[in-house]
Structure formats: structure tokens, C-alpha cells
Amino acid sequence: MTATTDGSAGAVGPRAAEAGRTTDTPSAPGELRGAAARAAQRSTEHLLARQDAAGWWKGDLETNVTMDAEDLLLRQFLGIRDEETTRATALFIRGEQREDGTWATFYGGPGELSTTVEAYVALRLAGDRPEDPHMARAAAWIREHGGIAAARVFTRIWLALFGWWRWDDLPEVPPELILLPSWFPLNIYDFGCWARQTIVPLSVVSAKRPVRPAPFPLTELHTDPARPVPPARPAPPASWDGVFQRLDKALHVYHRVAPRRLRRAAMNTAARWIVERQESDGCWGGIQPPAVYSLIALHLLGYDLEHPVMRAGLESLDRFAVWREDGARMIEACQSPVWDTCLATIALADAGLAPDHPALVRAVDWMLDEEIVKKGDWAVRRPGLAPGGWAFEFHNDNYPDIDDTAEVILALRRVKHPDPAKVDAAVARAARWTLGMQSRNGAWGAFDADNTSPFPNRLPFCDFGEVIDPPSADVTAHVVEVLGYEGQAQHPRARRGIDWLLAEQDADGGWFGRWGVNYLYGTASVVPALTAAGLPVTHPALRRAVAWLESVQNDDGGWGEDLRSYKERSWIGRGVSTASQTGWALIALLAAGERDSEAVERGVAWLTETQRADGTWDEPYFTGTGFPWDFSINYHLYRLVFPLTALGRYLNGEPEPAGLPARAPGSARAGRPGADAGPAHAGEG
């Protein structure tokens, strides 16, 4: 069955009539509560069964086939590509191809040129022939959309490694970049951590300009094979784009005349920087793109494949592989155990699992062991700040993030742990670190403070997505929510965060979602934060948010938002109903005191009616965000933890963390509009 992708109101989720659904169809409030309780119980049992013996949860993290294609290209470059890996990877890539011959970056999305080019090349490595129908369709579509010349820079860099594109026709990334001091414009710490970890090794690759023998030509992917590089269109000289075009031309000249001693010193510094940031599991930052470029760069600098750094790095990439029942092999761009574990803990606790349940205690023990107590790159901007907090992945001590840290604190406070002093100490360290990471504007980014330089995004080679880490509403909201629960809602830093959130509300009533799709995620993050911080549910900002959520509810009772909302305002709040996004909308409405509203009852009914018999929900749609629009994620656990959280709060009310005293009866979470909600916050207006 082909999924509906027009985002029209009233569309239902895919395979809604598929066998395996529950049969609950509640029609009265009492029946609805009973159906919700049964659905929550099924989800709780399923989630408990998925916990690892060590205490963590992790769902698959699905992105797009460039991860798989680049894994094969890396192995081809290093001379280690084997038949079994190639066969399994090709099986997965073929399975993701659309009928028009293209590959998309998210389920139901449009064909994307660079993704299609990389997938095509990977299948050529696997032995698929240009004349095969599926390959011919892909090549024709690529030519129709500008050919290789129109692909992103990173795609053309991969092709340049095999002589399919000229290095001279790529933007220059000089390794001397790493020698710039942290106060100098365009130093590496002006980039977001994910971009920084990629650009440093890429600068070595760009300086070395390696070319391995191409196993076949790719002339069929050029619009004009005799002239594969069309003339560049110069930007207006007075524009920033014009400035950076001239800078790139100057860097190409510099590549030919760079002093050898300076270049050698830069590459040696880059190598040390890369090696120092390799994690204990062999990866870099816990994400795949920096790992593949780091391996190539180190190999070019003389590290052979048996070197411990290289061997550990290659082994780490194997751990990113997900082998499916049909024999296909999918590469995860990243792994999310800390994020999944804290969200699962919150969901189970809010669904009514005893706060001292062994599963929750095991989860807390594991999260406590994952606490980061060493300084990382964030200390460049905050050198005097003591470490604390959590990262996203199994191993990533260099890059803890504020979002995970906030949610872990909320999870820890849900659990009655046998050693509360240990929990309190970890929370105190994390809260101190989080407060210290506030940016100058009063909000919080994900990994760094004040990572807002306007220049990195303008560089010609930065066309692969967001390369800076400015503050966002969802991360800021999670921090404010923690401060509310920790009794620090009146802390000056918390008040600045609240005021920033109120100023960031969209005219329609929602908030932009940087790390989830999109206004549904942002709004679901902000509303519970504002109420936890003491804003009454009668606050105008909360009433506007409720009105917006009610206005975008689908006719079937669920909520959905397509990734195209990042590019087109007409898509905001529009999309096929999904379990995770319906959970988000319900979480926001319940926090705003709407428990008995028609919108909440319809949303809860949708969840109960679409739940599978095993306690999960179908959700092929991508509701997670890496880079808005450019890199999208399907977190396979989202379809379980967020609906369960919403059902739990519908049944049990808003959470009161087990690790803290209960809030006063007059708090913002005490009831619907009109209830005694306590004093208004100073920012109310």
C-alpha cells in the first residue's frame, strides 16, 4: 500500500486497517479511559521487554541511503570492500528506491539528487549495470536534474576520491584552518560540533587530493559528458556570497603555493586533534560522517589499516550496521541509547510504573554510569565551567549535549533510587553545567554556547545542512522544564530563558522545532516547560498554543506534520497522523490543562484505535530532525515512548518527579483554565 503524503487533514496513518490492530473503539469518557489504560499497559509491557539487561533502551535510528553508499565507498577507497557487505548493503539500497528511480531523504519525500547519485554509484559498485531498468531510471532522473555537477559538494568529494570529479572543481578546505585561534573568524570552533568533526579531517583530504583508480566510468550521470562542469554563476561582488566566492578562488591559488612547513604543521596538528577525539569505542563523536572522513584522513597521513586507531575506527563502523531479517544491511548515522533510555524512563514512570521498579532503577544506574565528568570542546567557550551532563550515544565524552542532559535529569527525578545522594550529586553537577552553557541571548543550543557565527553557513563547501548550533526553542524548553522541576524557576537564568521562549512563539501559536518535526515538536517541548516554570494555563501564550494545536488536528483525531514544513509554511502542522506527533500534541494539551477537552479525547481515541496488538504503533514517517530539511531521522522508539507518555499523563495527570517534593496545589499544573493557578510570571502579557 502506498502511503498518503499530501498532508491533508483527515488522512490516516499507513496500513491503518492492517491485521494486528487492537479493537478498542471507545465512545464514552469511561470507555475511553478504559481503552487508554489497556493501551498503556500493552505499551508498558512491550517497552519493558525491550530493555537491555544493562539497563538501557535503543531503537534503530534510520536516516537515508547516503550512509550506506558512503560506507561502501569508504571500503572501496581503503581496499577492504567484501562481497557479503556489498551484497547486503545493495539489497537495502535497492529496497529504498522509489518507482521514479530516485531515492529520498525521508519516507514519502521527494527524490533528492545527491542521495540518488550516491545510491546509484553504490549499486554500480555492487555490480548493477547502467542498462538495468532501475539504474536507467535513476540515471535519467539525475541527468534531468543537472547531473553530478548539480549535486552537493560532499557528494562530489566522494566522487573525486575515484577521479569521477576533479579536485580543482571543488571548494577548497585548507588544513591551516585548524591553526586559527578561537577568537578568529571561521576558526573551527565557530562550527557546530558535528560540522567541526567533519571539516577537520576533510581539510586533510582536500589538501592531499587523493585519487584511487575508478572501477568504472560515470559518464551516464553527466548532462554533457564532454563538458561535465558547467560555467559557475558569479554572485554579486558586493554580496557575502560574492566575498566567499573570491575567498575560495584565493584558497585555490594558496593550495598551489602553500609553504610546505606550514602545511605540514597544520596537517600534523589536525591529525593530533582527530586522534585526541577518538572515543573509547573507536568512533568520533558517536556519529558516522566524522568517522569515515577521519579514517580517510589518517590513512592519507600514513596510518595503516592495522594501526590501533584505524582498527578501532573500522570496528566502530561495523557496530553501526543493522542487519535485517531479509539479509539487508542498514547503516545508522548515529546511535541513541542515552536519549532513548531517558525518554523510555519518563514514559514508563508517567504511565504509572512504580518509581522503585527494578527496570527503572537499572535504567538510572546505567544513566549514572554514563555521566560525563571531563571537559570537551564546549570548554573552549566556557573554560571555567565544571563538567557534568550526558551525551546522546554510548561513547561520546567530548560532546555532551544540553538536550540529553535536561531529559536525563527529568528521568532521574522520576525514579526512587536506593542511593538518592548519588542521584542528587549527578543532578547538581549537570544542572550547574547546563546553566553555565546558556547563550548570551538567554537561550540554549544543543552542544555549545554562543555558536552563532553567521560566516560558516556561507562557505561554498557548507551545502550539506546546518553547520552552526544556535539556541533553539525545544532545547531551551527542556532546560526551563528542568529548572521548574528543580525549584529554580525564579533563577535569573531561568527567567531569561522563559522570556526568550515567549518572544519566539510563532504568530499562529506554535514554536519552531529544531530537533524534531517541527512545530508540533517545538510546541510539545515549550508548553510543558512554561507550565512547569509556573505560568498559569490561562497565560495568553498557552491559550494561543492550545488554539493552534486544535486547529491543526486531523479529522481522524491524530496529528501529523510533514518535513516540508521546514521549507514551506503551508505545511506547518499538516501531515499524515503519526503516533509520535499525536503524542507530542497531547503532551502539550495536557500540560495546558486540556485533559477533558474534545481535542484530547479524540487524540487519545486515535492512539487506542491505531495501536498494534503488541503495544506499538506503525510509523514509517520521519519525525526526527538532524538538520532541518537536509537530514531527517526516523527514531524507531519514538512511536512507542511518546504515545505512552501521553497516555500516562492522560490517565494519571501531570508528573510529579519522585525525587523532589510535590508542588503546591496552586501550581500551574493544577487544572484547566480558570482554576487557581497561582501568581503569574513576570513575563506574562
C-alpha cell at 251: 584558497
Q: What is the pLDDT of residue 24?
A: 67
- Domain boundary, last residue among 306, 331, 356: 331
Please state, in angstroms and rounded to a whole number, the distance separating the CA atoms of residues 638 and 644: 10
Top mean pLDDT of 215-229, 475-489, 668-682 is at: 475-489
Question: Model confidence over 344-395: pLDDT tens digits?
Answer: 999 999 999 999 999 999 999 999 999 999 999 999 999 999 999 999 999 8
Asked if residue 92 lies in contact with residue 65, where contact means CB atoms within 8 angstroms, the answer is yes
Short-list 276, 312, 274, CA closest to 293? 274
Question: Model confidence over 102-119: pLDDT tens digits?
Answer: 999 999 999 999 999 999
Helices (H) and strands (E) in the chain, counts: 22, 5
Inside any domain, residue 2 = no
Asked if residue 190 has pLDDT above 70, the reply is: yes
Same domain, 98 and 182: yes
Inside any domain, residue 77 = yes
Inside any domain, residue 680 = no
Please state, in angstroms and rounded to a whole number, the distance separating the CA atoms of residues 299 and 297: 5
**Mean pLDDT lowest among 150-159, 503-512, 654-663:** 654-663
Q: Is 403 a catalytic residue?
A: yes
Please state, in angstroms and rounded to a whole number, the distance separating the CA atoms of residues 447 and 391: 9
User: β-pairing, 329-331 with 631-635?
Assistant: unpaired
Q: Is 265 exposed, middle or buried (0-12, 13-18, 19+ CB in 10 A)?
A: middle
Inside any domain, residue 546 = yes
Q: What is the pLDDT of residue 116?
A: 98
Q: What is the average per-residue pLDDT within 248-257? A: 85
Give residue 23's pLDDT band: very low, low, confident or very high (50, 70, 90).
low
Q: What is the average per-residue pLDDT within 192-207? A: 94
Give residue 459's pLDDT band: very low, low, confident or very high (50, 70, 90).
confident
Please state, in angstroms and rounded to a whole number, the distance separating the CA atoms of residues 277 and 502: 38
Same domain, 192 and 288: yes
C-alpha cell at 659: 525525587
Q: What is the average per-residue pLDDT within 673-678? A: 31
Asked if residue 446 lies in contact with residue 405, where contact means CB atoms within 8 angstroms, the answer is no
- Domain boundary, last residue among 285, 307, 331: 331
Q: What is the pLDDT of residue 37?
A: 97
Same domain, 209 and 266: yes
Question: Model confidence over 529-543: pLDDT tens digits?
Answer: 999 999 999 999 999
Same domain, 232 and 89: yes
Question: Model confidence over 547-600: pLDDT tens digits?
Answer: 999 999 999 999 999 999 999 999 999 999 999 999 999 999 999 999 999 999
Q: Which member of 403, 448, 469, 556 is catalytic? A: 403
Q: CB atoms < 10 A from the CB of 640, how many?
A: 29
Asked if residue 521 has pLDDT above 60, the reply is: yes
Inside any domain, residue 275 = yes
Q: Which residue has the higher pLDDT, 247 or 429?
A: 429
Asked if residue 27 lies in contact with residue 599, where contact means CB atoms within 8 angstroms, the answer is no
Inside any domain, residue 10 = no
Asked if residue 74 lies in contact with residue 292, where contact means CB atoms within 8 angstroms, the answer is yes
Same domain, 321 and 344: no
Same domain, 146 and 288: yes
Inside any domain, residue 675 = no
What's the CATH number where 533 sits? 1.50.10.20
Give residue 466's pLDDT band: very low, low, confident or very high (50, 70, 90).
confident
Please state, in angstroms and rounded to a whole number, the distance separating the CA atoms of residues 474 and 476: 5
Inside any domain, residue 201 = yes
Asked if residue 556 lies in contact with residue 8, where contact means CB atoms within 8 angstroms, the answer is no
Short-list 403, 395, 392, 449, CA closest to 430? 403
Same domain, 320 and 301: yes
DSSP line for 281-316: TS-BTTBHHHHHHHHHHHHHTT--TTSHHHHHHHHH
Asked if residue 441 has pLDDT above 80, the reply is: yes
Asked if residue 237 has pLDDT above 80, the reply is: no
Same domain, 414 and 432: yes
How much of the chain exceeds pLDDT 70, in percent?
Answer: 91
Please state, in angstroms and rounded to a whole number, the distance separating the CA atoms of residues 357 and 351: 12
The mean of the pLDDT values for the chain is 90
Q: What is the pLDDT of residue 20?
A: 57
Asked if residue 28 has pLDDT above 50, the reply is: yes
Asked if residue 545 has pLDDT above 60, the reply is: yes
- Domain boundary, last residue among 303, 331, 359: 331
Helix (H) or strand (E) holding 545: helix 540-551
The region that residue 327 occupies, defined by phi over 0 for left and psi between -120 and 50 for alpha, beta otherwise, is left
Q: What is the pLDDT of residue 232?
A: 72
Asked if residue 665 has pLDDT above 70, the reply is: no
Domain with 528, as residue range(s), is 29-59+336-453+464-670
Asked if residue 398 has pLDDT above 80, the reply is: yes
User: What are the distances in angstroms from CA 233 to CA 38, 147, 236, 239, 242?
Assistant: 61, 17, 10, 13, 10
Same domain, 49 and 144: no
Helix (H) or strand (E) holding 484: helix 473-485
**Angle value at C-alpha 159, between 154 and 165, nearest 5 degrees:** 105
Exposure letters 246-264 (e unless 16+ CB within 10 A, then b): ebbeebbeebeebeeeebe
Same domain, 37 and 167: no
Same domain, 620 and 486: yes
Short-list 64, 67, 47, CA closest to 56? 47
Same domain, 287 and 352: no
Measured on CA atoms in the order 339, 342, 345, 346, is the torsion positive or negative? Answer: negative
Question: Model confidence over 613-662: pLDDT tens digits?
Answer: 999 999 999 999 999 999 999 999 999 999 999 999 999 998 877 666 65
The beta-strand segments (E) located in 462-610 are none
Q: What is the average per-residue pLDDT within 591-611? A: 97
Alpha helix ranges (H) inside 301-383 = 308-318, 337-350, 358-369
Q: What is the pLDDT of residue 7?
A: 36
Q: What is the pLDDT of residue 663?
A: 54
DSSP line for 448-481: SSSB--SSGGGSTT--SS--SB---HHHHHHHHH
Q: What is the average per-residue pLDDT within 434-442? A: 97
Q: What is the pLDDT of residue 463?
A: 73
Tell me how many domains the chain contains: 2
